[in-house]
């Protein structure tokens, strides 16, 4: 099978021939149709997330079940599925309390092999490949009305935004909300805020086209941060700050801005990964304002089916999130376009 292999930090991926994945007893073998191209993949390429080279990136997989392991009872050949959860140990305190997203003993995915015997690791899922084998607990059926392309991004960015609004921000109807960063995650955060009854929904970005997209996904107010200070503007607009603020970039400065723009008793949720380095909170007043600062790690298992239901019911929009698709040979072009802000969300196609 073909797969895109990363050998070194900041180098293009190489399309190579690999042996087919082994299918263990609990596994489903998925013929990958679509795999989303996510900022997390870029972070690995840039060396901000650790990996063992050579490795295969890609984690927003949608495809058809091609084979099942001897003990797999949940799927049959031909089922349309996404990979919606990550590997888990199943026994740590987080796994046992339905917080597998925080698993502290996450097993590494089984390796793959090139035709010459060279071992190739998989980063997280290893979805930039024509086939992927994962334990059945990681796979979820795609409702008939939803296309493979739309479904693939549900496996990461759409459901991460849902987790942020529902579980981390714990948004209540009529609460005021702020989202800084109107890329794929930000737009999804905005559309879930709308579904959950937030008002106003203030979107901040530095690009006018992204602010226009934010409006179409449900933002009631927009602020261009290149023209005015977003913290001052939000505090003025809401008379003291928002109840729930979300950072959807993964940048220390904007993470600080959402904390400063949150009203006393509110919650600032940082969705974008900040990495392990330090970041500065410009005022310690969040302490006496009793502001909760929290983060987000992927999603809880029920989130995937809840989001699929909302998409089927027409309450959220998936189709217009995906602005470009690429054949697998164009994977480096897809990553380049993502890096340069040319995509709302992009997908790569592995078996056409
Ligand atoms: Zn665990
Ligand atoms: Zn992702």
- Domains with residue ranges and CATH for the chain: 2-146+318-349 (3.90.180.10), 161-295 (3.40.50.720)
Q: How far is Cα 259 from Cα 252, in angstroms, rounded to an integer? A: 11
How many A from CA of 37 to the centre of ligand 2? 8
Q: Ligand 1 centroid to 60 CA: how many Å?
A: 21
* pLDDT (mean) for 100-107: 96
pTM of the model: 0.95
Q: Which residues pair with 68 in a beta bridge?
A: 28
Q: How far away, in angstroms, is 205 Cα from ligand 2 center? A: 21
Determine contact, residues 167/223, Cβ cutoff 8 Å: no
pLDDT at 277 over 90: no
* Per-residue confidence (pLDDT) for residue 275, from 0 to 100: 83
Q: Of all helices (H) and strands (E), which one includes residue 44?
A: helix 39-45
Q: Please give the distance, rounded to the nearest whole angstrom, from the Cα atom of residue 40 to the centre of ligand 2.
A: 5
Query: How far away, in angstroms, is 288 Cα from ligand 2 center?
Result: 35
296, 297, 300, 301 alpha-carbon torsion, rounded to 10°: 150
Query: Which secondary structure element, helix H or strand E, spans residue 190, and what is its range?
Result: helix 184-195
pLDDT at 341: 87
Confidence band (pLDDT; 50, 70, 90) for 296?
very high
Average pLDDT, stretch 80-103? 96
Give the model's pLDDT for residue 295.
97
Q: Is the pLDDT of residue 12 over 90?
A: yes
pLDDT of residue 205: 98
What ligand is nearest to the CA atom of residue 105? Answer: 1
Query: Could you tell me what percent of the chain has a pLDDT over 70?
Result: 100
What residues contact residue 73 under an 8 Å CB cut-off, 6+ apart? Answer: 136
Residue where the block lists tokens 């993470």: 255
What integer best gives the mean pLDDT of the chain? 96
Token pair 């809401």 in the structure block, residue? 238
- Give 352's pLDDT tier (boundaries 50, 70, 90): confident
Q: Both tokens of residue 273?
A: 């990964």
Report how far ligand 1's centroid is from the alpha carbon of 165 (Å): 24
pLDDT of residue 226: 98
3-class state of residue 140 by DSSP: strand
How much is the average pLDDT of 302-312?
Answer: 96
- Classify burial at 283, counting beta carbons within 10 Å of its beta carbon; exposed 0-12, middle 13-18, buried 19 or more: exposed
Whether the pLDDT of residue 64 is over 80: the answer is yes
The token pair at 351 is: 């078996």
């Amino acid at each position: 099978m073909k797969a895109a292999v990363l050998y070194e930090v900041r180098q293009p991926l190489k399309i190579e021939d690999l042996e087919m994945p082994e299918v263990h007893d609990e596994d489903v073998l998925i013929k990958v149709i679509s795999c989303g191209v996510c900022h997390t993949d870029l972070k690995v390429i840039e060396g901000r997330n650790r990996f063992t080279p050579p490795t295969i990136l890609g984690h927003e997989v949608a495809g058809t079940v091609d084979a099942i392991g001897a003990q797999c009872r949940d799927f049959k050949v031909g089922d349309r599925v996404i990979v919606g959860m990550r590997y888990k140990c199943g026994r740590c305190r987080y796994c046992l309390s339905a917080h597998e997203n925080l698993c502290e003993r996450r097993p590494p995915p089984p390796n793959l092999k090139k035709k010459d015997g060279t071992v190739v690791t998989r980063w997280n899922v290893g979805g930039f490949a024509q086939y992927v084998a994962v334990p059945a607990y990681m796979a979820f059926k795609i409702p008939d009305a939803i296309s493979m392309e739309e479904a693939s991004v549900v496996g990461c960015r759409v459901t991460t935004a849902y987790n942020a609004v529902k579980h981390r921000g714990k948004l209540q109807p009529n609460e005021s909300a702020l989202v800084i960063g109107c890329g794929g995650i930000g737009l999804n955060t905005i559309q879930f805020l709308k579904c959950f009854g937030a008002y106003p929904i203030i979107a901040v970005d530095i690009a006018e086209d992204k602010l226009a997209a934010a409006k179409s996904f449900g933002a009631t107010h927009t602020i261009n941060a290149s023209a005015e200070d977003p913290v001052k503007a939000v505090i003025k607009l809401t008379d003291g700050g928002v109840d729930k603020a979300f950072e959807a970039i993964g940048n220390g400065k904007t993470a600080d801005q959402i904390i400063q723009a949150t009203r006393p008793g509110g919650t600032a949720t940082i969705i974008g990964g900040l990495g392990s380095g330090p970041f500065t909170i410009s005022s310690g007043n969040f302490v006496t304002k009793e502001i909760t600062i929290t983060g987000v790690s992927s999603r809880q298992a029920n989130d995937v089916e809840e989001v699929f239901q909302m998409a089927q019911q027409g309450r959220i929009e998936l189709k217009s999130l995906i602005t470009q698709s690429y054949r697998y040979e164009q994977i480096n072009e897809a990553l380049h376009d993502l890096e340069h802000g040319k995509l709302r969300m992009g997908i790569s196609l592995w078996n056409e």
